[in-house]
Amino acid sequence: MHVRPRAAAVLPLHHGRAPRWLFRRMVKLAECIVEIIIGEYGVRGLLDRLSDPWFFQSLSCVLGYDWHSSGTTTVTCGALKEAIDPDELGVAVTGGKGRASNRAPAEIEERGVGFGLSSGRIEELRYASRMAAKVDNSLVQDGYSLYHHTFIFDERGDWIVIQQGINEGERNARRYHWPPEHRSLIEEPQGAILCDSRLPAVLDMTSHLSEENRRACLDLARENPRRLKRLFVKAAPPNQSTLDRWTGKEASQEILVMPSRINWRTLRKAYEFQPESYEELVSLPGVGPSTVRGLALVAELIYGERPSWRDPVRFSFAFGGKDGVPFPVDRRAMDEAVDILRTGISAAAVRREEKMRALQRLRRCVPPIPEARFTAPGLRR
């Protein structure tokens, strides 16, 4: 997927709901657009486009939700979920905002059975959904708490993820796009992360720069928790007995704050389980942001393996907000985005009409063959 450089996205927090009159129309228009895309490019073409942040944002504009706030994610995904019939189109939209996100595993199982997927493949999809949420909530520690998780998959088992986190302090949101190609669920799995601001310090355990730190964390997790506790104390500054309140650098730089609590029960389970990979470690129940952060900092202090503190925001763009927050809507830029998608839709419709006319001409040129001439192989009249 091509990611456009040097752009910015503003997703300010706008509370409230989309009007019913608007949402109903969004669903109807989304149904038409999705059918055209699948007809022209197949279901995989739909997944590719929805995982592209530029297309997704343009789609939200075309559907009528043309104010670029945090609601573009939740409402557009909601409209797609209502518009797409899995039995007819061969693609399912699961999860959603808030409590709806918790229903994703059950919906994946239900739709997977309907698609005829094996139980093993369904479990892989459920695992991918769970890991995507854990990665963006625990391995990318950017201060944005996930509140929206949409998992979209097709009859072949190809899948994408669109999820969003909220930061009340920054008063904006971040959207995380996972593409259909997945080299790894751990190392830079997102195709794009959208936000209007880049933070000075974000612990990013998904970065390729954190690879050695991840290995050190895995080694630490395999250690006996008693020895691991001694390593925590050993790494603490001389005037402290533990690392619980340790900060490594000045506030103007990266602030390495140890979590107030370490889940030692989880680390003991990890020690007993002896995970073979960092992904296996992270997938264990109870391994959350605090455990990930604690292990990462101890790995740096003890072994000198530094994780990445660079904010992984890679792609974003901005048109403004409907109420002037954070700035008035850039109508020209919005119109250009709308035109991009409308042009594509119109071209697709024209191509489809041309194909139908060509088929009609072909039928007129080729006379129908009488049904009596058809004989099943091996049979004689």
Q: Please name the residues in contact with 156: beta carbons below 8 A apart, sequence gap of 6 or more.
A: 43, 44
More confident residue, 125 or 35: 125
3-class SS of residue 203: strand
Q: How many CB atoms lie within 10 A of CB 222?
A: 15
Residue 254 has pLDDT above 50, yes or no: no
Q: Of residues 150 and 335, which shows the higher confidence score? A: 150
More confident residue, 364 or 143: 143
Query: Which tokens belong to 274?
Result: 């002896």
Question: What burial class does residue 325 get, using C-beta atoms within 10 Å of its C-beta: 0-12 exposed, 13-18 middle, 19+ buried?
Answer: middle
Give the H/E segment covering residue 81: helix 71-83
Residue 262 pLDDT more than 80?
A: no
Q: What does the pLDDT look like over 3-19, one tens digit per residue? A: 444 333 444 444 555 66
Q: How many CB atoms lie within 10 A of CB 303?
A: 16
Amino acid of residue 87: D
Which of the 8 DSSP states describes residue 67?
Answer: S
Give the highest mean pLDDT range of 135-139, 222-226, 228-232: 135-139
Asked if pLDDT for residue 257 goes beyond 80, the answer is no
256 neighbors 141 (Cβ within 8 angstroms): no
User: Is the separation of the CB atoms in 131 and 110 below 8 Å?
Assistant: no
Least confident of 19-33, 72-86, 200-214, 268-282: 19-33
Contacts of residue 46, Cβ cutoff 8 Å, sequence gap at least 6: 34, 37, 38, 91
- Does position 105 have pLDDT exceeding 80, yes or no? yes
> How far, in Å, CA of 82 to CA of 23, rounded?
10
Q: Is the pLDDT of residue 318 over 50?
A: no
Question: What pLDDT, on the 0 to 100 scale, is given for residue 237?
Answer: 53
- DSSP of 84-150: --HHHHSEEEEEEETHHHHTHHHHHHHHHHHHT--HHHHHHHHHHHHHHHHIIIIIEESS-EEEEEE
Angle of helix 20-50 relative to helix 71-83, nearest 10 degrees, comes to: 90
Residue bearing tokens 């592209």: 52
Which run of H or E residues covers position 357? helix 331-365
Q: What is the mean pLDDT of residues 189-213?
A: 91
- Rounded to 5 degrees, what are φ and ψ at 172? -155, -175
Strands 140-141 and 145-154: unpaired
* Alpha-carbon span 230 to 159, nearest angstrom: 43
- 168: which DSSP letter? T
What's the CA gap between 260 and 227, in Å, rounded? 19
| Mean pLDDT along residues 265-278 | 93
Q: With cut-offs at 50, 70 and 90, classify the pLDDT of residue 160.
A: very high
181 Cβ partners below 8 Å, 6+ apart? none
Of 341 and 42, more confident: 42
Domain chopping of the chain, boundaries: 20-199+312-342, 209-303
Beta bridge partners of 172: 12, 167
- Name the token pair of 114: 């309907």
| Burial category of 118 from C-beta neighbours within 10 Å (exposed 0-12, middle 13-18, buried 19 and up) | exposed
CA dihedral 134, 135, 139, 145 (to 10 degrees): -60
Mean pLDDT for the chain? 79
Beta carbons within 10 angstroms of residue 219's beta carbon: 14
Which of 17-31, 58-72, 206-220 reaches the highest mean pLDDT? 206-220
Q: Tell me what pLDDT residue 172 has.
A: 81
Q: Which helix (H) or strand (E) holds 162?
A: strand 159-167
pLDDT(93) > 80? yes
Q: Is the pLDDT of residue 213 over 70?
A: yes
- How many helices and strands (H and E) does the chain possess? 13, 7
What pLDDT does 361 receive?
A: 62
CA–CA gap between residue 53 and residue 222 (Å, rounded): 39
